[in-house]
Structure 1
Amino acid sequence: MPITAKSLREQALQLPPDERLALVDQLLDTLDEPDATLDAMWAKEAESRLAAYRRGEIQVASLSDVIAKYQVNSSSA
């Protein structure tokens, strides 16, 4: 009998929560393959954003302001 995602899911749901969490973490790790090209693109983007910030071309917000903004919006939902 072939293993299916449905049968694996049913079996996984029988595990205690901490073991399910560990299983999810392990599965997600298998999807996170390093990609040098993507890493280089993100590094270039970060450098570009930092340079624009230093030139005064972009606005910034403090972390506390961002958190406060989304806490207010999520509490009214």
Structure 2
Amino acid sequence: MTIDQIVNETRSLPRDVVAELVDRILMESHGGQNAEHSAAWSAVVHSRIGDIRSGKIKGIPAEQSSKKIRQIVGR
């Protein structure tokens, strides 16, 4: 398959499936992640999601985060 064919195939998939595919491709290209680290990150992510949902912490809007990133990298 060509890259264009793969991209075309992903258009019919749900967004969460595409996100998982991209994540797995990136992980494989960087040597993967061991189970212990994966479990630890999962725990952190779930904890932070819980904090946001409960109102304990407030999220930062994507536009604000993107602006800050562009400032840091000079774009």
TM-score using structure 1 length? 0.49
Q: Looking at CA atoms only, which structure, 1 or 2, has the larger radius of gyration?
A: 1
TM-score using structure 2 length? 0.50
